């Protein structure tokens, strides 16, 4: 595809349920990021994947959050036992990756998660 895609676009779930959010990065991009944005707030980093390296999980808010990236492409963010404070827009971004220079991050449209 032409850009980063995410699914679903909207997800409503009940407190305590598990949810999975999907991200399809731009083909050829080795770096993939997950962020979340609560209502009216700025961007909060969650996790970063770069090629086959161990992911940077330093932004995950609790052990209920996990993410994987299979085959260096598609990524899934899983939130277990969802809480109301998990309600936010979850954004995925990808870039050419690597360090030493700045590679523009391209963002997907996000998944709006609402926990009732």
Query: What's the min distance (Å) between Cβ of 66 and another protein?
Result: 18
Query: What's the min distance (Å) between Cβ of 41 and another protein?
Result: 8
CB-nearer residue toward another protein: 14 or 100: 100
Q: How far is CA 67 from CA 2, 35, 74, 104, in A?
A: 23, 12, 11, 22
Query: What gap in Å lies between CA 95 and CA 106, rounded to an integer?
Result: 6
CB-nearer residue toward another protein: 16 or 45: 45
Query: What gap in Å lies between CA 52 and CA 69, rounded to an integer?
Result: 9
Name beta bridge partners: 19.
Answer: 79
CB-nearer residue toward another protein: 14 or 99: 99
Query: What's the min distance (Å) between Cβ of 112 and another protein?
Result: 9
């Amino acid at each position: 595809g032409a850009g980063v895609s995410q699914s679903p676009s909207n997800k409503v779930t009940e407190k305590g349920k598990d949810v999975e959010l999907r991200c399809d990065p731009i083909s050829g991009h080795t770096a993939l990021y997950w962020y979340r944005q609560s209502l009216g707030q700025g961007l909060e980093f969650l996790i970063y994947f770069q090629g086959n390296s161990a992911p940077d999980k330093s932004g995950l808010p609790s052990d209920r959050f996990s993410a994987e990236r299979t085959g260096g492409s598609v990524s899934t963010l899983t939130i277990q036992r969802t809480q109301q404070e998990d309600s936010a827009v979850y954004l995925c971004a990808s870039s050419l990756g690597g360090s030493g220079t700045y590679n523009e991050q391209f963002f997907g449209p996000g998944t709006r998660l609402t926990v009732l």
